[in-house]
Structure 1
Amino acid sequence: MFPESNINRLPLVFKSDAAKSYFQFHLNGQLASLEYHMKEKSKIVLSRLEISKYLNQVEVGNALIERVLEYIYQADFKVVPVDLEVKKYLQKNSRYQKLVAYDSPLNHYTKPVA
């Protein structure tokens, strides 16, 4: 896990509009969001990460992805990563690889963790 910082204390916001759903952080008037949709009843497809150019994109992106994965873990869902940054995060963080759904594209690109 990453070190405790103020960014990890931000509330995770759920938003839906025009048939799209998002997990979001609001920081100093700027927005970071991760688009998602449900697949079946227990899988969350993470499809597009967007972060304001005025934010530290790596730090904020990693914090948002981690918070979303913690939510998925607590809700006992599986994740289907479509967004490239989410895939990279999962590949680097073995703790969350158990959340990846078997039919996920990530399974085609990663080696099993020993």
Structure 2
Amino acid sequence: MFYNTNINRLPLVFKSNEGKNYFQFHINGQLASLEYDMVKDHCINLKRLEISKYLNRIEVGNALIERVMEYSLRGDFKIIPANPQIIKFLKKRPEYQKLIASEIESIKGHKV
């Protein structure tokens, strides 16, 4: 398992592969990624989170999600949390509630 108090210093990498977009961390040769789509030029639909089995999935996942939330704040993006771990993360951190897109129902056709 990977335990690192400097995990928040890792660079956030943006990658596109086969028409899919990812936010990623590269840690000691291991990968953590969060798939996303842009919706209406101002919303980031956060989809599938994948963390290497050799990493601490909760710690690394939360660090990656937090970094994406900070990126969204700085870029004035709204987010669509389409992943259970992201929804759980947001419920525990009210400071990021303002990032949730208010038009989720019209964008996705359902309420998150």
Shorter-chain TM-score above 0.5: yes
Name the residue aligned to 2:96: 96
Name the residue aligned to 1:72: 72
Q: Distance in 2 between matches of 1:104 and 1:82?
A: 10
Tell me which amino acid in the other structure corresponds to 2:10: L
Report SS of the residue matched to 1:22.
strand
Q: Distance in 2 between matches of 1:18 and 1:62?
A: 26
The structure 1 segments of at least 4 consecutive aligned residues displaced by more than 3 Å after TM superposition are none
Q: Distance in 2 between matches of 1:92 and 1:24?
A: 22
Report SS of the residue matched to 2:41.
coil
Name the residue aligned to 2:21: 21
Name the residue aligned to 1:47: 47
What is the CA distance between 1:68 and its match in structure 2? 0.4
**1:71-111 deviation line (CA, Å, top 9, x unaligned):** 00100010000011011001110000000001337x956xx
The TM-score with structure 2 as length reference comes to: 0.89
Task: Count how many residue pairs are aligned between Structure 1 and Structure 2.
Answer: 105
Report SS of the residue matched to 1:61.
helix
Report SS of the residue matched to 1:26.
strand
Name the residue aligned to 1:112: none
RMSD, aligned α-carbons: 1.7
* 2:33 maps to 1:33: yes
The TM-score with structure 1 as length reference comes to: 0.87
Structure 1, unaligned runs of 5 or more? 110-114
